[in-house]
Amino acid sequence: NAGVTQTPKFQVLKTGQSMTLQCAQDMNHEYMSWYRQDPGMGLRLIHYSVGAGITDQGEVPNGYNVSRSTTEDFPLRLLSAAPSQTSVYFCASSYSRGAETQYFGPGTRLLVL
Amino acid sequence: AQSVTQPDIHITVSEGASLELRCNYSYGATPYLFWYVQSPGQGLQLLLKYFSGDTLVQGIKGFEAEFKRSQSSFNLRKPSVHWSDAAEYFCAVVRGNKLVFGAGTILRVKS
């Protein structure tokens, strides 16, 4: 199993540009989530999904969209990038429908100029 | 409302010394508690978790943690630290369908 994979590893955007961060898992996990990590703030939940077709907002959802059309994939879309979205983004998944025992991807480092 | 507090931003210990990283949570129900470790430039790796039962849980890499309901704490311990333990450590608690993280503690190991 590849586990949780994320692409790209690093991205530079200009303010106002849009992009999609990809996340995929091959463990048939129901629960998937997106976090952003900023210094001194730990990881904050952006959006999560408890199964295909079901998504919900986390702690910091503004400026981000998600969809879950398949069990395997959970892309995160930045609609109009802002410098405040400069961060490291982590995708995670869990075998249950809850947030327990999540497995994390390697992260995507995003810089918005 | 802050759910997880890690009071120490940085901790420095000597190699071979014991380690305790503090974590306090605020959540009314029986909590699901976790410790994750993140090496520089890497993702997060699960060290250990507590759901129920024995309040002393063993994890990977020689770490253990003790759940104390009366103190709302879930402190991480290791009897003898190795240089490779230098990393950032995160405590987390499940709140509903969400995992809430503390701000993290950066561990430095001096030789």
Give mean pLDDT, residues B19-29: 89
Give mean pLDDT, residues B88-105: 92
What's the first-to-final CA gap in chain B, in angstroms? 39
How far apart CA B21 and CA A30 sit, in angstroms, is 32
Interface test with A, best of B34, B44, B52 (most A CBs within 10 A): B44
The tokens for A1 are 């199993």
Per-residue pLDDT at B2: 53
Q: Any chain A CB within 8 A of the CB of B102? A: yes
- Burial-class residue A55 by CB neighbours within 10 Å (0-12, 13-18, 19+): middle
In this prediction, residue A105 has a pLDDT band, given cuts at 50, 70 and 90, of very high
Q: Any chain A CB within 8 A of the CB of B43? A: yes
Cis bond upstream, residue A75 (ω within 30)? no
Tell me which residues of chain A, numbers 11 to 70, contact chain B at a CB-CB cutoff of 8 Å. Answer: 31, 33, 35, 40-45, 48, 50, 56, 58-59
Could you give the C-alpha distances from A59 to B15, B56, B79, B101, in angstroms and in order?
38, 31, 36, 11
Nearest to B103 among A42, A101, A102 (CB): A42
Question: SS3 for B62?
Answer: helix
Q: For B62, phi and psi rounded to 5 degrees?
A: 80, 10
pLDDT at B27 exceeding the cut of 80: no
A29-70 pLDDT, tens digit per residue, is 999 999 999 988 899 999 999 999 999 999 999 999 999 999
In this prediction, residue A79 has a pLDDT band, given cuts at 50, 70 and 90, of very high
In this prediction, residue A81 has a pLDDT band, given cuts at 50, 70 and 90, of very high
Per-residue pLDDT at B1: 55
Instruction: Count other Cβ atoms within 10 Å, centred on residue B10.
Output: 10
**Is residue A15 within 8 Å of A81, Cβ to Cβ?**
yes
Interface test with B, best of A10, A25, A54, A102 (most B CBs within 10 A): A102
- Burial-class residue A95 by CB neighbours within 10 Å (0-12, 13-18, 19+): middle
- Name which of B54, B104, B47 is nearest B78 in CA terms: B47
B33-88 pLDDT, tens digit per residue, is 999 999 988 889 999 999 888 899 999 999 999 999 999 999 999 999 999 999 99
**Is residue A91 within 8 Å of A104, Cβ to Cβ?**
yes
